[in-house]
Structure 1
Amino acid sequence: MKIDRIETIKKVDYLVIGAGIIGLTIARELRRRLPRKTICVIEKEAKVAMHSSGRNSGVLHAGFYYPVDSLKAKFTRDGNRAMTQYCDANGLKINKCGKFIVATSEEDLAGLEELKRRGDRNGVELVWLSADEAAKVDSNVKTFRKALFSPSTSTVDPIQVCQEMQAENERNGVDFHFETVYLRHKGNRMVTNRGVFESNYVINASGLYADKIAQKYGFGKKYTIIPFKGIYLKYEKNNSEIGTNIYPVPNINNPFLGVHFTKTVDESIKIGPTAIPVFWRENYSGFQRFNAWEFFQIVYYQSKLLIHNSFNFRSMALEEIRKYKKMNLINLSLKLISRLDAKGFGDFLKPGIRAQLLNKQSLELVQDFVIEGDHRSMHVLNAVSPAFTCSIPFAEFVVDEIVRECRA
């Protein structure tokens, strides 16, 4: 059946694909700036935040990991403040417990110094503490000589935040259509499994499938999504042995922050995440949501990464796969603290999948945000961690670009 013969069920000015945190904040920002326009959000799942947005650590990062000239640095700093204010204003749970970045050896001290320089240049507060001073803040913190403390790092409940964003959008007249899957489009008409939408402008914030949809609009041709699975373990013995988030010094040449302790909004303790390469985009468990086409495409690019050993993919992949064994994951976390019962951990928590963008030409993981678009559509191609923290100012940036494209 031709697309032009299918009945249009909805006409809107702006249509957002995806009801994760990025789609929700973009819809919110569109409504704030364009109160007379019609806006709707379509989502293939039954409710908001079913993938990365609802499966992340819930940490509101401060903004010192990233080069000062990057979008991530600016948006993380501003996003931390904006999301903290949003949670406070709406009575949402937030644990303002701070975060330590600790050294495990002499070699880590140079990494701490670089993080401090980045934080200073980006206007983010980081405090040097000696090992003894750190132990006075959190008695279980273990560090070599000194540590950095980030007082503005907090944890939130990401699902609660997304649900509040949905409720706010609905109060302000944004329509939501769940279990609605993008299939194809022609011009300004989009076919879904629930009929046709006609819109003046499309914003693609579909996370794990953002590259696929973008390419159907003629964008993102040099990119593909390579999924990585993140798994956490909950410490079930008690909630009292750790009072802050505790992180190692990361390898600043890749986008993963290493196994760390998270102190959640309900005061519980968890360790993780992993960054395990997986073989299809929603490869959460077993053969759940298996997709043969995705499998062959992803294995193809993983094979290229192995052959060329881009960003040390071979050793990284092997190291991450070893974390499927609980004790290996636990042992990494124990380097960051003075004491903890290794037998006090429970089972793995609900996994998440990181929608990591890969440049197909250079075989490099793209570390900063990437958007592409024109006067008819805008595509959020790379919105990985800390996208949740960045979401409010990032949405302002995206809408700025949309307005600029529409005026050009």
Structure 2
Amino acid sequence: MYDFAIVGGGIVGLATAMALCQRYPQAKLLLLEKESQWAFHQTGNNSGVIHSGIYYRPGSFKAKFCHDGCRSMVAFCREHGIAHEVCGKVIVATQANELLQLDNLFQRGLANGLQIAKISAEEVKEIEPHVQCLAGIRVFSTGIVSYRQVCQKYAEIVRDRGGELLLNTKVEKITPTSDGQILETDRGTFSTRLLINCGGLQSDRLAKLGNVDPQAQIVPFRGEYYELKPEKRDLVKTLIYPVPNPNFPFLGVHFTKMIDGSVHAGPNAVLSLKREGYKKTDFDLKDMAEIFSYPGFWKLAAKHANEGIQEIIRSFSKAAFVRSLQQLIPAVQADDLVPTHAGVRAQALQPNGQLVDDFLIVKGQHSVHVCNAPSPAATSSLEIGKAIAAEVNLMLS
């Protein structure tokens, strides 16, 4: 029997494994991942941003874990020689009605203990010469990295500490017992004293398999990106974000310099008709049925109908997508952009139509379930792992 079994080989699962191996060096640990490689879904398809934590409600898990995680992620990359850059970013107001929200965001950043500065349009141009705006915020601690490389190092450390890692192993049944959990997979059966579910896009289903109410349902949103052609990359020096709409749960299309030198533009946010669907044509009948039969989805759709329609238009109209980008950089033209890979965000949605806006960790008997860990989970992964290890310690004491 294993002491700990973790399901999910994304960045949160791997960070949790690493934290448990460090805290319990004599424990027998197993990590199961259904795909053929680590960080296959959310982690491996995100923008690679080391977030500062400016957007998140002061006192929330997201605010604390992201603030601390930004520092610990940079320190981890330095320690292990992983390519990264603390390049900073600017958040800009392009319309007069955004100036109040920009100031509110600045105050939130101060409340979250960040090193930030209010800057004028002229000062923004000193950082990003092609941006047109009225004012901005400079966020000094934001960085970029390849989270796939980070995950490879996490996995290496877990192996070195004696953890057992299995790819191509899908959990199909979970049976709670008096002293633990039995996991039936397509590669055999495993027993564990404690199960930690870090299943991302499948986390709510895994919780239900273990007779635990996840308190929400995962609804997948696909983020679609374009990439600037190499000869146009000089339009962007760092990262450029708009002031987010406070009534909409996504940050809006923005420009992100990647650690490989490329520049991505996006994402929009559209409902995915398949939990692991990265193309517009992807759909899954089971996934669709779950979404459309869930009362919370229709309440969310009604609340954000106008914004949702605009996201759908941007998904199918490159011209509309480009117009959104031109609000930040007027010089960007459609011919400057080519499509690139999409990502899918596992967003937990409550039955009342409210998006779960913080990390959600649900405890069961002999189990811990991470049921909402979208962005900034990658930035926060070391801190989430340590928090779960501390929670496990309380459960075992």
Common fold by TM > 0.5? yes
CA distance in 1, matches of 2:203, 2:145: 26
Pair 1:266 & 2:260 matched? yes
Give the match for residue 244 of structure 1. Answer: 238
The 5 A counterparts of 1:248-397 are 248-285=242-279, 288=282, 290-301=283-294, 305-306=297-298, 308=299, 312-324=303-315, 325-346=317-338, 348-360=339-351, 362-397=352-387
Conservation of the 8 A alpha-carbon contact between 2:300 and 2:354? no
Compute the displacement of 1:291 (Å). Answer: 3.3
Conservation of the 8 A alpha-carbon contact between 1:310 and 1:364? no
CA distance in 1, matches of 2:152, 2:86: 21
The 5 A counterparts of 1:152-231 are 152-186=141-175, 187=177, 188-231=181-224
Q: Which amino acid counterpart does residue 32 of structure 1 have in structure 2? A: Q
Compute the displacement of 1:72 (Å). Answer: 0.5
CA distance in 2, matches of 1:16, 1:253: 36
Compute the displacement of 1:184 (Å). Answer: 0.6
Conservation of the 8 A alpha-carbon contact between 2:291 and 2:297? no
Deviation above 4 Å: which 4+ runs of structure 1? none
Compute the displacement of 1:293 (Å). Answer: 1.9
Q: CA distance change for structure 1 residues 209 and 249 in 2, over 3 Å: closer, same or farther?
A: same
Aligned with residue 47 of structure 1, among 37, 41, 65? 37
Number of residues of Structure 1 aligned to a counterpart in Structure 2:
391
Compute the displacement of 1:48 (Å). Answer: 0.2
Per-residue CA deviations over 1:307-339 (Å, capped at 9, x if unaligned) read x45572322221111112222112101111252
Give the match for residue 19 of structure 1. Answer: 9
Segments of 5+ residues of structure 1 without an aligned counterpart are 1-10
Compute the displacement of 1:171 (Å). Answer: 1.6
Conservation of the 8 A alpha-carbon contact between 2:296 and 2:354? no
Compute the displacement of 1:195 (Å). Answer: 0.3
Conservation of the 8 A alpha-carbon contact between 2:297 and 2:349? no
Compute the displacement of 1:70 (Å). Answer: 0.9
- For the aligned residues, what is the CA RMSD? 1.6
CA distance in 1, matches of 2:363, 2:334: 49
Per-residue CA deviations over 1:243-288 (Å, capped at 9, x if unaligned) read 0100000023443111000011122211011110122211222555
Segments of 5+ residues of structure 2 without an aligned counterpart are none
CA distance in 1, matches of 2:144, 2:302: 30
Per-residue CA deviations over 1:52-71 (Å, capped at 9, x if unaligned) read 00000101110110110211
CA distance in 2, matches of 1:255, 1:218: 30
TM score, norm. by length of structure 1:
0.92
Per-residue CA deviations over 1:163-206 (Å, capped at 9, x if unaligned) read 11111211221111111000112222210000001111110000
The 5 A counterparts of 1:36-185 are 36-144=26-134, 146-185=135-174
Aligned residue for 1:350, secondary structure, equals strand
Q: Which amino acid counterpart does residue 319 of structure 2 have in structure 1? A: M
Conservation of the 8 A alpha-carbon contact between 2:322 and 2:332? no
Conservation of the 8 A alpha-carbon contact between 2:214 and 2:371? no
Give the match for residue 228 of structure 2. Answer: 235
Q: CA distance change for structure 1 residues 52 and 36 in 2, over 3 Å: closer, same or farther?
A: same
Give the match for residue 8 of structure 1. Answer: none
